Amino acid sequence: MSFENLLRPGYINRMHMRNRIIVGPMEKSMAGPDGSLNERYIAYARRRAMGGAALIQLESTYVSPEGRGNPYQVGCHGDHVIPALRRMAREIQAHGAKLAMELHHGGRQASITSHHRRPIAPSAIPSTFMDPGTVPRRMTEVDIRRVIADFARAAERCLAAGVDMIHLHGAHGYLLGQFLSPQSNRRTDGYGGSLANRARFPLEVLAAVRHVVGPGYPIGYRISAAEYVEGGLEADESARFAVILADAGIDLIDVAGGTYESMSKIFQGPEAPKGGFVAEAAAIRRAVGDRVPVSVAQRMNDPVFADRVMEREGFEYVTLARAFHADPDYVHKLTEGRADRILPCIACNTCANLTVARTPAGCAANPASTYELSRDSYRPAPERVRVMVVGGGVAGMHAARFLALRGHDVLLCEATERLGGQLHYVRGALPDYGNLVDWLALELDELGVRIRTGYRVGIPEVSEADPDAVVVATGAQGGYLWAGTQDPTVPIFDVLSALERPPAEWEPDVAMIGGDFAACLVAQHLRRSGVRVHIIEPGASLAKDGAFTGLLVEMELEADEGVTIHREATAESITGAGVVFQSLGKKGRLDVGSVVIGGRRPASELPDELRRAGLRAGIYTIGDAVRPRDLYAAGQEAADVAERIDLDGRARVLRATPASPTTPG
């Protein structure tokens, strides 16, 4: 496939684009505490420019201190940010890409823990998601004039730094969107009421920025075409606003959706269909006609799907954020006819988890993402060693790949007949996860890694192979099955075997004992199969081990009428009549046809056995074989173990090198 719609050049205003693919904005918690860029962030963006991106938007960039949402968010609120921003622009432009800054003010969704100020907003309506209970201050005319001036001054700094384009962030429930939305704007003055009045503030911001940059400089606007909250912005009104933007001279409309109160729409997971906002963007495209180009975001990373959608709906651009986070060479692989070698984003939202935790936002699919200064280039190791990797799950496959990239002789052993480990079970419910396994398998084949499936490793096998190092990546298995009173006629599954059971075989009601993140993902899968799920969770909340993504999963399960959650509860017995449980001292019974036991545990005691055997090989344990966690931990530890084996090899070289003779004093 030629991907003509994605790869043909174009223009936004007078700015030339070498293709139609925009790197979308994505907060990464990588800026300095003062909002300025650093070498790590510059290296990250430079790598995407080297990979063929046409236009790189960094992230929502605050123009006022009280509009900040994260203490490590990029800012454009003071002249001190200009030098590093200028360096960023030059680095990106040197590799043929353009730089856009997405100017932003969080309004009621700004974080008081980041800026220590009371938020401001069109109306005194709090966000129910960000710092709940904090009531923002209603903006006065003075506030409005000041914030408009802040946007204009930020635009001046962008020009001074050589930035190619400015994007106004009117999506995701931030301040521009708050004025536009009838849900968050209850004003009765000239900034509230009718659509024309609610549009006044964003239009005044656009006019102020246009006055700074001039008519030939490109300005884009990102809009949440639908907010998915009661009383919020709907697609038909967004289309009318898009026409107003076109009349006002906007140069690009980038269509997204959702607010913090509908967060799962912003961060759609692997269970969501492709092209989350295509229908809304198509309505906007029809409304504006050929007057202004339209781009669409959200789960557009499949290039075949994206190219066909562009052809069908007439979109001039597509916006990909997580896709470039996973694979900086996305465009080059398309132009080289290697679309099958694009490292897939699996929509796991690890990047969001880390950002919300105010930690640099790495990637579960690509352990080198955000580590471009240390992991992106691979030089031959000082000593080529023989490494046996035990376990063909994601941790083992990543480790084998990193070790092979360093020139080591790698043998990957997997006890079953297939690679993928736990993802073999998951891929039926979440196919995106299986795409990562397929990609890693292709990489290992190209790198010449020897693979033995159906091969269970113990002390004799390691002794026979006599490797220099053994990496144990045997993963995890399901939690311990029920040991209490039990009717053997009631089927009991762990979280992995539950994913293998065909949907048609499930009974109408299933009990889930334990509400950890993996168990909640299985509960979602069962709901998609039409099963009613009863979750018995000892704690007060679900999916706590899933971080921010776990919160989104909990919110979805809470809103699902087919899910009943029993908190602070434990199962007491399983009988032919169902599951007897207690909550806060009171007993209840669930009439269910099957039971799923949550939790996971390490799948092997091999590391301890190898160490007790006294083998000469260095023993390294990674991933869920240490303790069950997530794909991000698996990838990071795989990258780390390759570096550790390199360091250990270097130490052996140094020990074997004769000492230099000393010169007599």
- Taking only the tens place, the pLDDT of each residue in 8-42 is 999 999 999 999 999 999 999 999 999 999 999 99
Which neighbouring-strand residues pair with 471? 389, 620
CA–CA gap between residue 138 and residue 144 (Å, rounded): 10
Q: What is the pLDDT of residue 578?
A: 86
Q: What is the pLDDT of residue 659?
A: 47
Strands (E) in 122-248, as ranges, are 137-138, 165-170, 219-224
Instruction: Render pLDDT for 530-551 as a digit per residue (tens, 0 to 9).
Output: 999 999 999 999 999 999 999 9
Sequence-ordered list of residues with C-beta below 8 angstroms from that of 6, at least 6 positions apart, any chain: 19, 20, 21, 303, 306, 307, 310, 318, 334
Mean pLDDT along residues 195-206: 98
Mean pLDDT along residues 137-152: 98
Lowest mean pLDDT among 171-180, 567-576, 625-634: 567-576
Q: Mean pLDDT of all residues in the chain?
A: 94
Chain centroid to Cα 464, Å, comes to 42
Mean pLDDT along residues 250-273: 95
Query: Is the per-residue pLDDT at 663 higher than 50?
Result: no
Q: Of 478, 470, 456, 517, nearest to 622 (Cα)?
A: 470
Q: CB burial class (10 A; 0-12, 13-18, 19+) of residue 616?
A: exposed
- Is residue 665 very low, low, confident or very high in pLDDT (cuts 50, 70, 90)? very low
CA–CA gap between residue 615 and residue 468 (Å, rounded): 10
CA–CA gap between residue 441 and residue 423 (Å, rounded): 13
What does the domain layout of the chain look like in residue ranges? Answer: 4-374, 381-475+603-656, 479-599
Q: What is the pLDDT of residue 46?
A: 98
Q: Of 176, 215, 225, 230, nearest to 199 (Cα)?
A: 176
Q: How far is CA 656 from CA 385, 484, 652, 662, 663, in A?
A: 15, 58, 6, 18, 21
Q: Of 268, 285, 474, nearest to 351 (Cα)?
A: 268
- Quote the DSSP letter at residue 110: S
CB–CB of 405/446 below 8 Å?
no
Which strand (E) or helix (H) includes residue 390?
strand 386-390
Mean pLDDT along residues 567-573: 94
CA–CA gap between residue 234 and residue 243 (Å, rounded): 15
Buried b (16+ CB within 10 A) or exposed e, 550-566: bbbbbbbbeeeeebebb
Q: Which of the listed ranges 243-247, 481-485, 603-607 does the model predict with the highest average pLDDT?
A: 243-247
559: helix, strand or coil: helix
Mean pLDDT along residues 337-345: 96
Which neighbouring-strand residues pair with 221? 168, 253
Sequence-ordered list of residues with C-beta below 8 angstroms from that of 665, at least 6 positions apart, any chain: none
Q: What is the pLDDT of residue 661?
A: 40
Instruction: Render pLDDT for 167-181 as a digit per residue (tens, 0 to 9).
Output: 999 999 999 999 999
Residue 588's CB is within 10 A of a number of other CB atoms, namely: 15
Percentage of the chain surpassing pLDDT 90?
A: 89
CATH class of 479-599: alpha beta
Which numeric CATH code is attached to 4-374? 3.20.20.70
CATH class of 381-475+603-656: alpha beta
- Is residue 494 very low, low, confident or very high in pLDDT (cuts 50, 70, 90)? very high
Query: Is the per-residue pLDDT at 483 higher than 70?
Result: no
Strand order across the 594-597 sheet: 492-494, 594-597, 509-513, 532-537, 563-567
CA–CA gap between residue 37 and residue 474 (Å, rounded): 40
Q: What is the pLDDT of residue 485?
A: 56
Query: Is the per-residue pLDDT at 664 higher than 50?
Result: no
Topology match between the domains 4-374 and 479-599: no
CB–CB of 564/534 below 8 Å?
yes
Q: How far from each other are the two terminal CA atoms of the chain, in whole angstroms?
A: 72
Which strand (E) or helix (H) includes residue 392?
none
Buried b (16+ CB within 10 A) or exposed e, 438-473: ebbbebbeeeebebeeebebeeeebeebebbbbbbb
Which strand (E) or helix (H) includes residue 235?
helix 235-247
Q: What is the pLDDT of residue 660?
A: 39
Predicted model pTM:
0.94
Q: Of 95, 91, 88, 93, nearest to 74 (Cα)?
A: 88
Q: Which amino acid is at 323?
A: A
Q: What is the pLDDT of residue 307?
A: 98
